[in-house]
Structure 1
Amino acid sequence: MNSLVLLFVLGVGVAGLPACGSAAAPAAAPVTAAESADAPAVTPMAEPSARTGLGAAKPSATPSASPFRAGAQNGGAAVPAEARAVDTSHPTRTVGTGTAASCTSDAVVRAVAAGGIITFDCGPAPVTIQMKATAKVVNSHGPRIVLDGGGKVTLSGGGKRRILYLNTCDQAQGWTTSHCQNQDHPQLTVQNLTFADGDSTGDRTEGGGGGAIFVRGGRFKVVNSRFVDNHCDRTGPDLGGAALRVLSQYENKPVYVVNSTFTGGVCANGAAISSIGVSWTVLNSVFRDNRAVGTGANPARDGTSGGGSGGAIYCDGNEFTVRIAGTIIEGNRANEGGGAIFFVSNDRTGTLRIEHSTLRRNPSRGFETRGFPGIFFLGAHPPTVTATTLS
């Protein structure tokens, strides 16, 4: 997207500056915990049934003695039915036959390509599966694809490759409708999994990004999962998503991120999650120590390669919404705008809501919106903030 960011610094104060357009950002009033508004309605959507099909790991160095935990344990935000974990008690297929050695990269790749509800049987100890290739969804399979690691499986890109890929407009994965950018399937869910050391650096397909997971089209949700030390290209004005890059969701229905944790991501922009024209609902999650390392913003200033915005979250496009509730965003940073959140709605129709959350210590080295520490925002009106700490 062609986002216009004009950067200037007045003393030590930093003001909200225009991006993705020439209109100046409205001056925002200081945030108080008393601000409130009704939560947006969520229209339930029935889960489609899975279709039948098919069905080198190593033990983690120190098997965990405690149960798998992700997200903000005391977030408190209500989770709508369609955002909850999928029942995987009757899987379509299982990766592994009870041992760590049976849980291989090839087995994961074949299971994802076949679709359906996928679980893992890798033995009693936590395992890390080193992915030798990116697992790619075949668009005619499913229509529902669910990966459930049971809290014991880490899928690792080894710092060499993206881990998981869905793209309804990729002819190599099959076109299933005449409107690939707006179809309700496949519906991909990842739950009870860790995605570590994914890296999409150098892969500029669909604009690049998505170090751990890239999604275009269909529907996507993340439940009770962890994203650790994922990377994507360090430069680029609109490239992002060290953990997640998402484009073109069906009828602009939101991507749900529930009870999940994002740490150590590094990318040009959106060092945890990034999107163009996509709505998000983020509930009871944690974003910590992610870094947007590009320089020059969007569009790139003369003599720069661009990027550096959205230390944790980068959202661009026209009409879209972002709702964040029960979530902690801390210790993230951006070389340019929005140490925590960069939000630009080009046509100024987009809205941002933050409820019962904590955003702290998210420095924006270039610019942010006055009165909203760690946030750069251009949209329909100033962000709606309820019972939230911004510091």
Structure 2
Amino acid sequence: MTMSALTRPGERDRLVVKFSEIDWLFSLALCLIAGAGALMMFSIAGSSWEPWAGAHLLRFGILFVVMVVLAMVDLRVWFAIAYPLYGAGLVLLVLVEAIGDVRMGAQRWLNLGPLGSFQPSEVMKLGIVLALARFYHSISADDARFSWWLLIPVLMIAAPVLLVAHQPDLGTAMLIAMTGVAVVVLAGLDWRVIAAGIGAVAVAVPPVVMFVLHDYQRKRIFTFLDPESDPSGSGYHILQSKIALGSGGFLGKGYGLGSQSQLNFLPEKQTDFIFATLAEEFGFVGCFSVLFLYAVVIFMALRTSALAHSHFGRLSAAGVTATFALYVMINGGMVMGLAPVVGVPMPMLSYGGTVMATVMIGFGLVQAVRVHRYSEVTSGKGTFL
């Protein structure tokens, strides 16, 4: 075989063109958020790369390469794997019910032996977006607005939500549900249906809280409403987080000088409450800067969604962006005492490889939508399926 046959200049040129189409400003914003997270982990570990900052940067570096590679994948491949990925996610969630590991009273993990363990619910965060995007790609705008077809996405969302909620993992179940609903709304759901849905949820919340949720989940909600009722118990997390937020003031106490985090008053300071750590050391200015970076990422991802020529591309990019935005909103509300503590981390800023992998793979899809934004994805005969 000749060298020219091995290198295939035409294909190499196409890869170069695809590489140049990646949104590098978007990628830079992700790097800055991950860098800010590493900076805070270095501080709260006593100016040490161990045990969090070094591992955080290493994971991000690997997953950044994964994102770039996934950006080269044609949208028709993403389209083809949409239903299989969703189906595989459901099977894995059922396996968790049957043989999953139990930790801290929850059955959420599958043990992979020497490879460690993972949470199949993370697969579903991307699977639900792709499956719904493919479904709405194949039906008309009128059917998406309101028809009996709506029962199918309702069932597609309900199945994983109920399985995840049963583990129990209320935070992830809420995230999957809200992401799925966001895709359905973005697909063109009639506003009257949206209003009716909001009303139904409002009516259903009180009985669900009182008779469906576990005791500890119900306690979290009551604690959110009145954290001072148990300041040294269930209200401790929220109160310490508020102290850290308030004590930072406008400019913060200074890098490495946050008393709540440095003296271990603030729980989960490297994961769920790292934003409170940031607020204590860098104040309002630091928080605003990081939130601005999140806003840039969300805006640029939505712009990519708007530029896509295919309905599948638009909805899949928007769905991934909705998941990311919900992470930020839920964690921010939780840290500020505006939402119950449900164990949702701040993406890219918090320590943890599972959520970072989900986010970066999702952004690989967003970048693929940008790189292949002129591609037409069809669902008729002769398509790439």
Judge same fold: TM > 0.5, yes or no.
no
- TM-score computed with the length of structure 1 as normaliser: 0.25
Structure with the greater alpha carbon radius of gyration: 2
Higher helix share: 2
Whose relative contact order is higher, 1 or 2, with alpha carbons under 8 Å and at least 6 apart? 2
